[in-house]
């Protein structure tokens, strides 16, 4: 049966969502392999018999295994079937068949345009069709949501109307009507008919109730408005020049930052250094001493860094990953490789606590190797500072971990080879400028705990290399999360459970003035509990002493502010209480919850709000979401846009973060990508 080009086509196979413009395959779906391979061929993919695909756009099927190389992935996808049921989907290494990353589903879009009906169709490039399909099909815009039209600005999506048009064009992009149907009704399985006298239009409402009809063949000029949580932009007025002025201001700033990144990249390309040797016995020993099994993403990131080291130009790579997904281990192995080659490494962190955390972890992992590791921060004694500075200058110190103290003028390295920068966006302007100067000459690995969207990833990949850790360690358990009114009896029971298994707990109370009151109450509640407290305004020695005692297990429960929210890794701490959780953003709650559950023990998070308080509106949504989404890797799911905008802002700067709110995240990324393409091609930026 031949179906209409704009109809969702299940091909009598309800487990798989088929569309003429592409389809989705998911785990546990039931499929007919003959229909799958036939559909792949119609979408422009080339069958290569029973051999493993070696190029993008190829597929093969043999003995219940379907291999397919999609453009969006650097490696081919393998789909294992048992009978007609999909058992597993994963990326694999084509040279040896090794699994790289598990997938829940894959979106298969046309590899090249394959019109199946004759007629006078408008010419459209395959790339445009694919991008349009991908963007719209995956979007979830509902009537009432804010959208952005490139030419007219921010408006409110009303819905879809069929309007009479004498000479309406037809388009061979099945995704258009399916996506429009989805964003208009939230349903699939039906289609919007088209003929020569009617065409579907998006209806967008602007200020003063003015409405704009956007023909479906111009849908690529409309995007979903996404900004930071709590930011509600005003609707634009039609017929004024305000939006155009806003857009040009944003575009000018984007061009400036894109040019800066490209210039930095170009300068680094001219600098040469000897490539580093391949895997040594010591590097192998360090890898084997890792107490956990590496995740596929860790293996991939390490391989990508080693590939950078094999080049004759300095590395500039961003390592992005959710909390507890193993970024530090990847950085450690890279640093060790550089040290073994006779160079020095500086590991730079924004806070003293995080610096101490890295120092202790590095010290423990490198204890069996002849590596001299030092620590430098505001806590370091004068004698210690002098000793470390001399060691860096004469080359006796191989690796140093510290805060922005490392970029001071009196810190001189004999042969600095690599900078590891954790959460670079949290450094001050002066420190960033000094880092910019230093990073021109050495290998740089920047670490970020905030996810970045795939579209930004693709754009940044033209400027800097990006590795993403998106899969959790195999031994991790999800954090059991409770959300509710303050309950001291529940707190007491949870603390006793933690004490009985020899564990520790955090109690986050973000008001310094009453921090000690909470500590005293906990001590009265559980007399055998050893309680300490910590906050950022404590004296250096006092804070160092408290954190040291907690790290060594001399304190059972640490009452603290959000000072522990960034990077602190203590596997023995597996219960966290968050007081006044209604005051926290979703991303903040996720980051704090990520401080526990960093071992193979079951972890617990208790998010309390005051008794008598009823969460409503956005507060209710935040608390409901954090309670529902406690699975591993939730940072890439819950508040994904909040986290992604933070991630983009952390990489591009605060000013750019503001501009993302002005024009919407998706349009911002489009403008950024256009600026990069134009500048790389030496062309003048055109208005869009």
Quickly list DSSP for 564-600: GSSS---TTEEEEEETTGGGS-HHHHHHHHTTS--SS
As beta bridge partners, residue 102 has: 90
- Could you read off the pLDDT of 625-651 as tens digits, one per residue? 777 666 555 544 443 455 455 555 555
State the residue for tokens 């010591």: 282
pLDDT band at 223 (very low <50, low <70, confident <90, very high): confident
pLDDT band at 460 (very low <50, low <70, confident <90, very high): low
β-pairing, 557-560 vs 573-578, is unpaired
As its CATH architecture, domain 126-224 has Beta Barrel (2.40)
Do residues 603 and 479 make contact, with C-beta atoms less than 8 angstroms apart?
yes
pLDDT at 613 over 70: yes
Q: In terms of C-beta density within 10 A (0-12 exposed, 13-18 middle, 19 or more buried), how is residue 469 classed?
A: buried
pLDDT band at 407 (very low <50, low <70, confident <90, very high): confident
Q: What is d(CA 572, CA 529) in angstroms, rounded to the nearest whole number?
A: 16
pLDDT band at 215 (very low <50, low <70, confident <90, very high): confident
Strands (E), 377-526: 399-402, 416-422, 443-448, 465-469, 480-485, 504-508
Do residues 639 and 625 make contact, with C-beta atoms less than 8 angstroms apart?
yes
Do residues 538 and 546 make contact, with C-beta atoms less than 8 angstroms apart?
yes
- Please tell me which of 101-110, 112-121, 615-624 the model is most confident about, judged by mean pLDDT: 101-110
Task: Name the CATH superfamily housing domain 22-108.
Answer: Penicillin-binding protein 1b domain (3.30.2060.10)
C-alpha 676, offset from chain centre: 21
pLDDT band at 397 (very low <50, low <70, confident <90, very high): very high
Structure tokens at 589: 């709650």
Residues 6+ apart with CB under 8 A from 627: 481, 482, 483, 607
- Could you read off the pLDDT of 164-206 as tens digits, one per residue? 655 444 333 333 333 333 333 333 332 344 444 566 778 899 9
458: left (phi over 0), alpha (psi -120 to 50) or beta: alpha
Q: Which of 122-136, 414-428, 537-551 has the lowest mean pLDDT?
A: 122-136
Q: What is d(CA 387, CA 153) in angstroms, rounded to the nearest whole number?
A: 59
Residue 291 DSSP label: S
As beta bridge partners, residue 108 has: 23
DSSP string, 350-412: SSHHHHHHHHHHHHHHTTTS---EEEESTTS-HHHHHHHHHHHHHT---EEEESGGGGSTT--
Compute the Cα dihedral for 642, 645, 651, 654 and give only its sign: negative
Order the strands of the 604-609 sheet from edge to edge.
Answer: 480-485, 604-609, 573-578, 504-508, 557-560, 531-534
pLDDT for res 393:
95
Mean pLDDT in the chain? 77
Residue 94 has phi, psi (to 5 degrees) of: -65, -20
Q: Which of 13-27, 481-495, 529-543, 622-636 has the lowest mean pLDDT?
A: 13-27
Q: Which fold has domain 480-631?
A: Rossmann fold (3.40.50)
Fold match flag (272-469 vs 480-631): yes
Order the strands of the 443-448 sheet from edge to edge.
Answer: 373-376, 399-402, 344-348, 416-422, 443-448, 316-321, 465-469
pLDDT at 375 over 60: yes
pLDDT at 383 over 90: yes
Structure tokens at 236: 């634009």
- Please tell me which of 298-312, 485-499, 527-541 the model is most confident about, judged by mean pLDDT: 485-499
pLDDT at 357 over 50: yes
Outline where 140-280 has alpha helix (H). 174-185, 242-270
Q: What is d(CA 42, CA 152) in angstroms, rounded to the nearest whole number?
A: 38
Identify the residue with better confidence: 332 or 672: 332
pLDDT for res 29:
82
As beta bridge partners, residue 425 has: none
Annotated domain spans of the chain: 22-108, 126-224, 272-469, 480-631
Order the strands of the 65-68 sheet from edge to edge.
Answer: 46-47, 58-62, 65-68, 77-82, 85-92, 99-103
State the residue for tokens 């048009």: 165
Q: Which of 296-310, 334-348, 369-383, 429-443 has the lowest mean pLDDT?
A: 429-443
Q: What is the rounded (10 degree) CA torsion for 135, 139, 144, 146?
A: -50
> What three-state secondary structure class fits 69?
coil
Identify the residue with better confidence: 217 or 505: 505
As its CATH architecture, domain 272-469 has 3-Layer(aba) Sandwich (3.40)
Q: How far from 546 is each of 354, 375, 509, 516, CA to CA, in Å?
A: 14, 18, 16, 14
Compute the average pLDDT of residues 539-554.
86
Structure tokens at 353: 């606590």
Do residues 368 and 289 make contact, with C-beta atoms less than 8 angstroms apart?
yes
Residues 6+ apart with CB under 8 A from 109: 21, 22, 43, 70, 130, 133, 134
Do residues 443 and 309 make contact, with C-beta atoms less than 8 angstroms apart?
yes
């Amino acid at each position: 049966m031949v179906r209409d080009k704009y109809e969702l086509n299940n091909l009598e196979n309800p487990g798989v969502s088929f569309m003429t413009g592409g389809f989705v395959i998911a785990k546990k779906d039931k499929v007919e392999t003959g229909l799958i391979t036939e559909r792949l061929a119609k979408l422009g993919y080339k069958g290569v018999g029973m051999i493993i695909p070696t190029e993008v756009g190829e597929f093969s099927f043999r003995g219940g295994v379907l291999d397919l190389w999609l453009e969006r992935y650097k490696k081919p996808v393998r789909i294992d079937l048992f009978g007609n049921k999909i058992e597993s989907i994963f990326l694999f290494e084509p040279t040896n068949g090794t699994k790289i990353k598990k997938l829940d589903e894959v979106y298969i879009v046309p590899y090249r345009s394959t019109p199946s009906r004759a007629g006078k169709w408008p010419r459209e490039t395959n790339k445009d069709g694919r991008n349009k399909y991908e963007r719209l099909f995956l979007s979830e815009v509902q009537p009432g949501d804010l959208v952005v039209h490139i030419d007219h600005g921010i408006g409110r999506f009303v819905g879809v109307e069929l309007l009479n048009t004498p000479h309406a064009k037809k388009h061979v992009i099945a995704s258009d009507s399916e996506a429009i149907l989805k964003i208009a009704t939230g349903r699939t399985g039906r289609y919007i008919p088209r003929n020569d006298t009617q065409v579907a239009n998006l209806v967008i409402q602007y200020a003063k109730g003015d409405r704009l009809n956007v023909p479906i063949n111009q849908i690529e000029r409309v995007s979903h408005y996404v900004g930071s949580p709590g930011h509600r932009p005003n609707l634009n007025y039609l017929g004024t020049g305000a939006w155009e002025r806003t857009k040009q201001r944003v575009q000018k700033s984007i061009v400036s930052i894109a040019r800066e990144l490209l210039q930095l990249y170009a300068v680094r390309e001219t600098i040469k250094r000897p490539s580093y040797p391949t895997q040594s016995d010591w590097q192998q020993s360090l890898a084997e001493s890792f107490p956990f099994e590496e995740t596929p993403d860790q293996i991939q990131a390490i391989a990508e860094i080693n590939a950078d080291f094999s080049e004759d130009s300095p590395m500039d790579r961003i390592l992005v990953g959710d909390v507890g997904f193993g970024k530090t281990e990847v950085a450690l192995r890279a640093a060790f490789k550089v040290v073994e080659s006779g160079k020095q490494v500086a590991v730079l962190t924004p806070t003293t606590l995080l610096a101490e955390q890295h120092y202790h972890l590095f010290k423990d992992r490198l204890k069996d190797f002849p590596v001299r590791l030092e620590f430098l921060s505001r806590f370091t004694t004068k004698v210690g500072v002098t000793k470390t500075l001399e060691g860096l200058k004469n080359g006796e110190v191989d690796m140093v971990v510290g805060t922005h103290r490392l970029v001071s003028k009196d810190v001189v390295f004999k042969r600095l080879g690599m900078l590891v920068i954790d959460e670079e966006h949290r450094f001050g302007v002066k420190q960033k400028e000094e880092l910019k100067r230093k990073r021109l000459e050495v290998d740089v690995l920047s670490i970020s705990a905030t996810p970045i969207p795939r579209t930004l990833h693709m754009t940044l990949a033209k400027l800097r290399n990006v590795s993403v850790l998106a899969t959790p360690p195999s031994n991790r358990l999800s954090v059991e999360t409770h959300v509710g009114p303050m309950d001291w009896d529940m707190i007491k029971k949870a603390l006793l459970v933690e004490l009985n298994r020899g564990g520790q707990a955090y109690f986050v109370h973000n008001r310094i003035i009453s921090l000690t009151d909470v500590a005293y109450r906990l001590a009265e509640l559980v007399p055998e509990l050893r309680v300490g407290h910590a906050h950022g305004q404590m004296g250096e020695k006092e804070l160092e002493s408290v954190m040291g005692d907690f790290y060594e297990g001399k304190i059972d429960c640490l009452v603290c502010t959000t000072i522990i929210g960034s990077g602190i890794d203590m596997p023995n701490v597996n219960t966290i209480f968050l007081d006044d959780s209604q005051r926290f953003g979703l991303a903040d709650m996720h980051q704090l919850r990520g401080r526990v559950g960093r071992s193979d023990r079951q972890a617990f998070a208790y998010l309390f709000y005051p008794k008598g308080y009823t969460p409503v509106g956005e507060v209710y949504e935040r608390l409901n979401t954090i309670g529902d989404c406690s699975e591993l890797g939730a940072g890439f799911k819950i508040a994904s846009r909040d986290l992604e905008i933070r991630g983009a802002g952390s990489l591009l700067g605060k000013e750019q973060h503001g501009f993302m709110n002005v024009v919407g995240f998706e349009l911002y990324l489009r403008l950024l990508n256009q600026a990069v393409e134009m500048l790389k091609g030496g062309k003048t930026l055109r208005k869009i």
